[in-house]
């Protein structure tokens, strides 16, 4: 997935100004930047939640127009917003299949619209198991889960439906140390399943522990893209705050010829 020159103005306020973006298949790309740098604006454009004023998004090298979150979902991009958007009164299975419920086969499903609860429970349990998420019961209401478990369910749902990209806006912001580790492990397993992950985070240790590459966002655009293997934390922070020019760090952008394969 790629984007070139994304721009979005909110009246006088600049949300994005010529923002480029590049995500390779099967990588975890961290997106970092100061408050108000435009990270959420960027991922909303990639998730179809806002339409940029100008610029172009590409999937598999093809230009795409994402006019709604549904457009993005149909292409295989799932997003977990910070506010999570889980229905707390409903149970894990119901949340996993929210808006995408399975019907019973035959007339029961097609005419009488009966839900195939058993099959949905089986698949929800399988997905939780595959991702190593432990809960007491798949029938537990979300409101009875811990913060980390809720976050895990939201990530599991995105991983279940996302065929290409899972975007996570600060998934560990509200979590304790142990829960953070669990969610990071979960993100690694999502990558093992072949998906690409975009992870917005303010935690440098977390980013350096998990990211394949780091996209540094500043003043509405990408200032640099670096590898945690060749760049130290203090330099990432310095580029982020403008203390260091972006060309002071080694770029980890993919070579133009070997552009990302999706």
Ligand X SMILES: Nc1ncnc2c1ncn2[C@@H]1O[C@H](COP(=O)(O)OP(=O)(O)OP(=O)(O)O)[C@@H](O)[C@H]1O
The CB-of-1 to ligand X minimum distance in angstroms stands at 18
Q: Is the distance from CB of 37 to CB of 93 less than 8 angstroms?
A: no
Name the one range near ligand X by CB under 6 A: 37-45, 134-142, 235-243, 254-262.
37-45
Give yes or no for residue 201 binding Mg ion (CB under 5 A): no
Give yes or no for residue 39 binding ligand X (CB under 6 A): yes
Residue nearest to Mg ion (CB): 40
Q: What count of other Cβ atoms lies within 10 Å of the Cβ of residue 56? A: 13
With CB under 5 to 8 Å by kind, the binding choice for 137 among ligand X, Mg ion, none is none
Q: Which residue has the tokens 């480029």?
A: 20
Name the one range near ligand X by CB under 6 A: 8-16, 144-152, 205-213, 241-249.
8-16
The CB-of-37 to Mg ion minimum distance in angstroms stands at 8
The CB-of-36 to Mg ion minimum distance in angstroms stands at 8
Name the one range near ligand X by CB under 6 A: 10-18, 118-126, 148-156, 239-247.
10-18
∠ CA 183-25-195, nearest 5°, is 35
Q: How far apart are CA 57 and CA 1, in angstroms?
A: 7
Q: Could you give the string, one character per residue 28-67, with x where binding to Mg ion holds by CB under 5 A and - elsewhere?
A: ------------x---------------------------
Q: Binders of ligand X among 98-137, rule CB under 6 A?
A: none
Q: Whose CA is closest to 231, among 217, 253, 252, 260?
A: 252
Copy the structure tokens of residue 23: 């995500």
Q: Is the distance from CB of 246 to CB of 224 less than 8 angstroms?
A: yes
Q: Considering the complex, state which of residue 35 and residue 136 has its C-beta at the smaller distance from ligand X.
A: 35
Q: Whose CA is closest to 155, among 201, 187, 115, 178?
A: 187
Give yes or no for residue 52 binding ligand X (CB under 6 A): no
Q: Is the distance from CB of 135 to CB of 107 less than 8 angstroms?
A: no
Q: Is the distance from CB of 152 to CB of 127 less than 8 angstroms?
A: no
Question: Which residues contact ligand X (rule: CB under 6 A)?
Answer: 10, 13, 15, 33, 35-41
Question: Which residues contact Mg ion (rule: CB under 5 A)?
Answer: 40
């Amino acid at each position: 997935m790629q984007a070139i020159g994304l721009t979005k103005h909110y009246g006088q306020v600049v949300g994005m100004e010529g923002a480029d973006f590049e995500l390779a298949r099967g990588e975890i790309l961290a997106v970092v930047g100061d408050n108000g740098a435009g990270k959420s604006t960027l991922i909303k454009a990639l998730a179809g939640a806002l339409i940029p004023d100008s610029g172009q998004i590409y999937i598999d090298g093809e230009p795409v127009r994402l006019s709604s979150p549904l457009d993005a979902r149909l292409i295989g991009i799932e997003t977990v917003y910070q506010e999570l958007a889980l229905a707390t009164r409903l149970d894990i299975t119901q949340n996993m299949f929210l808006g995408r419920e399975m019907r019973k086969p035959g007339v029961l499903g097609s005419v009488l619209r009966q839900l195939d609860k058993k099959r949905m429970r089986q698949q929800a349990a399988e997905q939780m198991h595959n991702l190593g998420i432990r809960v007491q019961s798949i029938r537990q209401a979300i409101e009875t889960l811990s913060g980390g478990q809720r976050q895990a369910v939201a990530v599991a749902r995105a991983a279940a439906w996302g065929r290409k990209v899972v975007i996570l806006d600060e998934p560990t912001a509200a979590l304790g140390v142990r829960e953070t580790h669990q969610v990071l492990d979960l993100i690694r397993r999502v990558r093992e399943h072949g998906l690409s992950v975009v992870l917005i985070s303010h935690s440098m240790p977390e980013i350096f522990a998990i990211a394949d590459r780091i996209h540094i966002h500043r003043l509405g655009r990408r200032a640099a893209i670096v590898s945690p293997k060749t760049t130290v934390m203090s330099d990432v922070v310095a580029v982020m705050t403008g203390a260091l020019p972006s060309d002071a760090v080694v770029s980890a952008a993919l070579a133009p010829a070997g552009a990302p394969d999706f």
